[in-house]
Each structure stands twice: as C-alpha cells, then as structure tokens.
Structure 1
Amino acid sequence: MRILGVIPARYGSSRFPGKSLIDLKGKTMIQRVYEGAKQSTMLTDLVVATDDERIFAEVERFGGKVCMTASHHQTGTDRCAEVIATLPENYDVVINIQGDEPLVNPLQLDSLLTVFHDSTVDIATLASRSIEEVDLINPNRIKLVVNHEHRALYFSRSAVPNFANAKGKPLETYPYLRHIGLYAYRSAVLSEISQLKPTALEQVESLEQLRWLYYGYSIKVVETDIETPNIDVPEDVVKVLEFL
C-alpha cells in the first residue's frame, strides 16, 4: 500500500499569521512537523502543500519535499486533493497531517493508517475518550458519536448526545468522544469528496466532514490515547516549548 503524507501549510492564519515559520528552539514549526511525520513507518512519501513562497523556500532549505498549490482552497482536504492530482506518482491512501502540530507523534499516524488494510474503509479519523465537562460546552472542542462499527454518525460543536438527562454528571452517563482533526482517505475518494458541493449542515456547524456524511460517505473512527498539543494562537507556543 502506497501512502502519501500531505502537510497543508498556509501563511495567512487568522489567529496566528506566519505560525508555520516561527522558531521553536532552532527549527521552524513546519520543519518540526515534517521531521516528526517522517518517522512514520507507513508513509511512502511526504510533502508540504503551501500557497506561500516563504514556506516553500523554508521547506526546500531543510531538504523537504514541497508542492505549491492554489491560494483559493478553503480546507486542507482541498489542498490535499490538488496535490494528489498534480504529482505523477500514484498513491492508494493520503493522510492529511496538521501543519500546526510540531510534536506530531508517528505512532498516531500509523494507528490511523493501519485501518486501511480493511478494504471497506474509505475515510478515517481519530477520536479520544479524554474529555472534560467543560469540553462539552466548548464549541472549539468537536464532539462525535459513532455506531457499533465505530463509523461516525455525526460531528458537532455542541454536546452530542445532549446531556439533558445526565443529572449533572454527563461524563458518568455517556462515554463522550472528542474529535482529533487528523484525516486519511483513499486517493479516489479524496478526489470525489473534493468535488462535492457544500451543504447547509456543514456550514451551520462549520465542519467539512459533515459534507462527506451528508453525501453518504462512511468515516471510520479510530480511538487513540496519544495526544500532542498544537499551536493555534501565540499563547500556545509556551506550552509546546515545554516539551522540546
């Protein structure tokens, strides 16, 4: 099975512009993400996908593989789809690796990719049982529910299921799952979902994966207890530096 790792990286982050190029103890964030992902035992190739010349030059400087993509993409999935359509090599699976996780754990990547040995899996993502009550009402913590085969039924910024009958102890009433935004797709499916029209449901929740569910695609959910802090805003840098 040939697997391509894609690290989407853009300069114009609304909450932290230029974060891909910040210095983290002698290496830029994009270099640390690249080197961490490179340790995966399952990746055939790894490439950074960017629309910015500064990020492109930095990846070339440290010897990584980089692809220039269009600037109009709204999601990392769309950027991954352009990469797979552009590269001359053929890949069976593509994994979308977050460009803001300089402490990326290769074991986490491998656990997600392993499920593609099952031919019925088209899209896969990660989730964790590590969740606090405050996360249930935090719209930035995405919650999800799964069926008996661990296929996603729904993702939401609200608490799903609703804990109206939890008598003040929702986490003791139901095993809530928190989404971890790492995705992998079969290449053909990636090409298909990148052509789907946005849906009202997706736009209301601002969650692109709801588009895939709406159009009938199945998302396999892999539970993990491996978590690494990401850098979303400048205040997150201090937390990450403690691990370096």
Structure 2
Amino acid sequence: MSVLIVIPARYASSRFPGKPLAELTGASGQARTLIERSWRAAMEVQGVDRVVVATDDDRIRTVSEGFGAEVVMTSADCANGTERCAEAHAALGGAYEIVVNLQGDAPLTPPWFIEDLISGLKDATGMGLATPVLRCDGSTLNSLLEDRRSGRVGGTTAVFSGDHSALYFSKEVIPFCAETYQDADETPVFHHVGVYAYRPDALKAYPQWKVGPLETLEGLEQLRFLENGRKILCVEVEARGREFWELNNPQDMPKIEHMMRKMGLS
C-alpha cells in the first residue's frame, strides 16, 4: 500500500507562536528547528513512499526547503492538522492509500511508533483511521498531572474499548487515578501520541463535517471523527526504553532537550 507522511506546520499557534521554527539542541550540541527534527523523524520510518511538509507560511517553507524537505503550500483557512493533511493529499493527487499525519511538535516520536501505526491500520480493514497510544509509567503520569495542576495544557490521554476502538480523548488525565504511582510503575493511563494514519475516504470526509461541542471544548481534532460516528483504532506502541513527550508549551523545550541528551539523540 502506498504511504504518504504529511507534517502539518503553522506559525500562528496560540500557545506557542512560531513553534515549528523553535530550535532544540540535542546530545551533539547542534541546534535544529522543531520542523527539521520532525522531518528527520519521518524520514527514518520504513515503508513510506513520500514525506512532505504542509504549511501556509513562507517562513516555514523557506526553512523546510533549506534542509531538503518537499513542501506543499496549503490554505491559511485549515483549522487543524487533519484539515491541512486533507488539503495536501488532494493537492498531490489524492491517490495515496494511507496518509500519516505526523504533527510537527513531536520530535521524540521513534520510527517504530509510526511503523506499528501503519501496520495496525493496514490490518484493520474496517477502520478509517488509527492513532498510537503509549501506556504511561509513573513518571509520565506525574508529569501530566503536574501540567494540569499548574494550569498548563499538556499531553492528551486516551481510553478505548476491548477491541481498541477509541472511547474518548481528553486533555484531562483519564481515567481518574486515586492511587499514587512511582516513576517506574505501570499505570492504567495511556498517553495519546499525536500521530494519525487515515484511509483516503475518512480524510476526505473530515473537512466537510461541522466542528462539534466536544472538539470545541477539548481542542482535540480527532474528536470530530467520534462525534460523527467514525471509529478510531488505538494502536498500542512500546517505548523500548525511549522517553516520549510532545512540545505543547515553551516550558516543554528544556524537558525535551534534557530527554534528547539523556537518550543520546543528536
């Protein structure tokens, strides 16, 4: 099956303006922009036919082309990454069998997360889209809870049924946990990894639907699928010793740089 990875990137983020062009310094001491690091992560994924950056901003286009990325210019009217992926896929002819949305704020996403995601959607013939989930250890869960106590919108959590169909996604920590966990403990909370794989029909339908109340309240684009009766496959992925965190706020930059140095990621 033909696979396209789209990295949607916009400059005008309300929580972190200019985020794609923010620079992160890894273990080698070399500073690279977030969009470049996300592109490099995408280029490591096996079994992918094409990787493009989709943006409406000339600054992001110039930087992306400078490090060798293919860029597709999209409309400034795209409300989120899924809409931008749909527009980019259409601009490229709309013929890819699986389109992956690798959002440009997750440079720590290891290639096997995306490879397992693609494989999971290929096997689930009745599903129109899939997304990875990673079981939290105590340290990650504590970080999520600390973000909420501090009034920061941090990572997203997911709950799903026995067949791994998503039940809900939230910026709150779900399910509620009264128990206290130590750093290395396995917890019942799953961190949603902000990557999506779509079949073309699901991706094409998405921009035609109205924004619903749950998407509005949570600010989570995937809830539009659930609000319109579409199932989402949650593919459980394994950390394999890698730490994972997304860059949601400026305060996350030192945390991610520390993780990169700790794991020897340049």
1:233 aligns with 2:249: yes
Which whole-Å CA distance do the structure 1 matches of 2:159 and 2:105 have between them?
26
Letter paired with 1:43: V
Which whole-Å CA distance do the structure 1 matches of 2:255 and 2:158 have between them?
26
Deviates more, 1:89-98 or 1:138-147: 138-147
SS in 2 for 1:221: strand
User: What is the aligned residue count?
Assistant: 239
Alpha-carbon offset, residue 116 of structure 1:
2.1
Deviates more, 1:229-238 or 1:130-139: 130-139
Which whole-Å CA distance do the structure 1 matches of 2:245 and 2:142 have between them?
19
Deviates more, 1:25-34 or 1:73-82: 25-34
CA RMSD of aligned residues (A): 2.3
Which whole-Å CA distance do the structure 2 matches of 1:68 and 1:117 have between them?
28
**Given that residues 10 and 51 in structure 1 are in contact (C-alpha distance below 8 angstroms), is that contact kept between their aligned partners in structure 2?**
yes
Residue from 27, 32, 57 that aligns with 1:52:
57
Structure 2 residues not aligned, in runs of 5+: 25-29, 261-265
Letter paired with 2:39: Y
Structure 1 residues not aligned, in runs of 5+: none
Which whole-Å CA distance do the structure 2 matches of 1:197 and 1:170 have between them?
40
Q: Which residue matches 1:220?
A: 233
Residue from 94, 107, 123 that aligns with 2:129:
123
How many percent of aligned residue pairs carry the same amino acid?
A: 39
SS in 2 for 1:37: helix
SS in 2 for 1:145: strand
The correspondence of residues 145-224 of structure 1 with structure 2, limited to 5 A, is 145-162=159-176, 168-169=178-179, 175-224=188-237
Letter paired with 2:161: N
Letter paired with 1:185: Y
Deviations 1:31-55 (A, max 9, x none): 2211221110021100000111011
Residue from 142, 147, 154 that aligns with 2:156:
142
Residue from 26, 41, 61 that aligns with 2:66:
61
Alpha-carbon offset, residue 106 of structure 1:
1.1
Residue from 104, 109, 129 that aligns with 2:109:
104
Letter paired with 1:195: Q
Moved over 4 A (4+): none
Deviations 1:191-236 (A, max 9, x none): 0122111112322232222221121111000112335333333333
Which whole-Å CA distance do the structure 1 matches of 2:7 and 2:144 have between them?
27
